[in-house]
Amino acid sequence: MNLLLEKIKNEGIVLSETVLKVDSFLNHQVDPELMLEIGKEFAERFKDHGVTKVLTIESSGIAPGVMAALQMNVPLIFARKRKSLTLSEDILTSKVYSYTKQEENTISISNKYIQESDRVLLVDDFLANGQAALGLVDLVKQAGAEVAGIGIVIEKSFQDGGNLVRATGYKVESLAEIGSLENGEVQFRKEEARV
């Protein structure tokens, strides 16, 4: 996805050897045109997977998730990280530890919106240590539904998440794969380095 790679090159700020700030288009300000293209790309990559729902986590997964859902003509569900006033009964929960933030979140969804017959595409903004994606897999399994695949906007390939999540056997598609953030520079994995 050249548009995304260019955006990362031009606007991404390398905060450290492990953290990339993309607040100008994904994590704070959101670029709707880019999100639409991301949605189309996920729809294309998972078109043969019988997706009936898209599931993400608040908050930064919602923009790419909703565009993917729009393109696939299915609903989007976002797991909550905080207790909701209205989400009180029949909830499914999973504990997600963030190595980046060193805190544990309990993510939850109402079991009303995922049925056993559903094939669920998981979407998230970043794949770092993979804990969020595994938490979403857990929620889908608790609902008795099938994971149709996992779509990631930015994967940091030098962290453990990619291997962990691919070990589940589900199809994982990352639209940008970052090989390194060393020396204050974004290096994409070899096959993407032409941008």
What pairs with residue 82 in β-bridges? none
Burial 87-98, CB ≥16 within 10 A → b, else e: eeeebbebebee
Query: Is residue 21 a contact residue for ligand G4P (CB under 6 A)?
Result: yes
Rounded Cα–Cα distance for residues 154 and 173 (Å): 10
Query: Is residue 130 a contact residue for ligand G4P (CB under 6 A)?
Result: yes
Nearest one of 63, 57, 64 to 78, comparing CA atoms = 57
Query: Is residue 20 a contact residue for ligand G4P (CB under 6 A)?
Result: yes
- Per the structure block, which two tokens stand in for 170? 């589900």
Dihedrals phi, psi of 67, to nearest 5 degrees: -70, -35
Query: Is residue 59 a contact residue for ligand G4P (CB under 6 A)?
Result: yes
Residue span binding ligand G4P (CB under 6 A) among the ranges 46-54, 67-75, 122-130, 136-144 = 122-130
Would you say 173 and 44 are in contact if contact means Cβ atoms under 8 Å apart? no
Residue span binding ligand G4P (CB under 6 A) among the ranges 19-27, 107-115, 142-150, 169-177 = 19-27
Burial 6-43, CB ≥16 within 10 A → b, else e: ebbeeebebeeeeebebeebbeeeebeebbebbbbbbb
Residue span binding ligand G4P (CB under 6 A) among the ranges 21-29, 39-47, 114-122, 142-150 = 21-29
Query: Is residue 192 a contact residue for ligand G4P (CB under 6 A)?
Result: no
Single residue of 27, 106, 168, 187 touching ligand G4P by CB under 6 A: 27
Query: Is residue 129 a contact residue for ligand G4P (CB under 6 A)?
Result: yes
CB of 179 to ligand G4P, least distance (A): 13
Amino acid identity, position 194: R
Query: Is residue 35 a contact residue for ligand G4P (CB under 6 A)?
Result: no
CA geometry: angle 141, 144, 146, nearest 5 deg: 70
Footprint of ligand G4P on 161-190 (CB under 6 A): 161
Single residue of 24, 92, 99, 171 touching ligand G4P by CB under 6 A: 99
Query: Is residue 24 a contact residue for ligand G4P (CB under 6 A)?
Result: no
Query: Is residue 108 a contact residue for ligand G4P (CB under 6 A)?
Result: no
- Binding residues (CB under 6 A) for ligand G4P: these are 19-22, 27, 57, 59-61, 98-101, 125-132, 156, 161
